[in-house]
Structure 1
Amino acid sequence: MTRPSEVKPREGDLPAALYKDWQVGAEFPELAFTITPDIVNEYLSVVDGDPSNYRVDGRQAAPPNVLAVYMMAVMYRKYPPQQGGIMIGNTFNFYHPIWADEPTHVVGSGRLTDKYEKKGRKYICYQVDFHRADGTRLCSVSHTSAFAE
């Protein structure tokens, strides 16, 4: 079982990556972690989720957005967190269920896709992809954050 807090640094733990440090096209190192039935149950309790909403062909699946809590940890492996970031938006694409009754070994990877300035804010955009250890694609996320001057 890998809790997000075990793989995600907190703001201030490491020297922060500044806007000037971000390089479009930069790849994020892979992050391996395991989603277990305990994590699925904890996530359901935190989001007040109803497990009956997550059945696939009669089998209990995890809420697919359980991966959202690991998204920034993938990016932080290359660019440690800067205080004051504002999450602007995320677009999720889900491809395969995470089964709630078994451990799922996941590998996250990604890349910086864009950075730009607009109305006094600096924006970064990145993509994170999650696969099972066997290569089965689980989810992809396109993310945008902004940082004040």
Structure 2
Amino acid sequence: MTRPTDVKPREGEQPAALYKDWVVGAEFPPLPFTITRDVVQEYQSVVAADPANYVIKGRQAAPPNVVLVYMMAVMYRLYPPQQGGIMIGNTIEFHNPIWADEDTDVIGTGRVTEKFEKKGRKYICYDVDFKRPDGTRLVSCSHTSAFPE
């Protein structure tokens, strides 16, 4: 079982990446992890998800956003966390189910897509894709955060 805390560094554990360090087009190193049945059950209990809402053709699926707790860990592999970041928004696309009755190996990858300043704030945009090792896309996310400097 791979818990998000197993792969996500904490703020202050290493020198933080500052706005000036981010490079548009930079690719995040792949982050392999496993979403186990236990992770699915724990996630459902934490978010009060009703399993009845996630049945596909008679088979129990996980809430598709269960992978999003790993999203920032993908980015942190290249850009360690900086204190004071503010999540501005996400656009999420769900492509294929994560089944609740089996362990799912996942590889998270991504890239920096944009950085800009507006009204004194520094914004960073990046995309993260979650796929099975065979390349089947599970979830993709476009994320925007604002960071101090």
- For each residue in 1:70-99, what CA deviation from the matched residue of structure 2 results, as whole angstroms up to 9, or x when unmatched? 000000000000000000000100100000
- For each residue in 1:84-129, what CA deviation from the matched residue of structure 2 results, as whole angstroms up to 9, or x when unmatched? 0000000100100000000000000000000000011000000000
Stretches of structure 1 lacking an aligned partner (at least 5 in a row):
none
Identical pairs, percent: 75
Q: Which residue number corresponds to residue 106 of structure 1?
A: 106
Q: C-alpha displacement at 1:147, in angstroms?
A: 1.4
Distance in 2 (CA, whole Å) between partners of 1:61 and 1:143 is 25
Q: Which residue number corresponds to residue 41 of structure 2?
A: 41
Stretches of structure 2 lacking an aligned partner (at least 5 in a row):
none
> Does the alignment pair 1:139 with 2:139?
yes
Match runs of 1:74-113 below 5 Å? 74-113=74-113
Q: Which residue number corresponds to residue 115 of structure 1?
A: 115
Distance in 2 (CA, whole Å) between partners of 1:137 and 1:147 is 29
Where in structure 1 do 4 or more consecutive aligned residues deviate above 2 Å?
A: none
Distance in 2 (CA, whole Å) between partners of 1:139 and 1:147 is 25
Between Structure 1 and Structure 2, how many residues are aligned?
A: 149
Q: Which residue number corresponds to residue 12 of structure 1?
A: 12
Q: C-alpha displacement at 1:133, in angstroms?
A: 1.1
Q: Which residue number corresponds to residue 61 of structure 2?
A: 61
Q: TM-score, normalised by structure 2?
A: 0.99
1:109 alignment partner AA:
T
Distance in 1 (CA, whole Å) between partners of 2:21 and 2:9 is 18
Distance in 2 (CA, whole Å) between partners of 1:14 and 1:132 is 30
Distance in 1 (CA, whole Å) between partners of 2:53 and 2:98 is 14
Q: Which residue number corresponds to residue 31 of structure 1?
A: 31
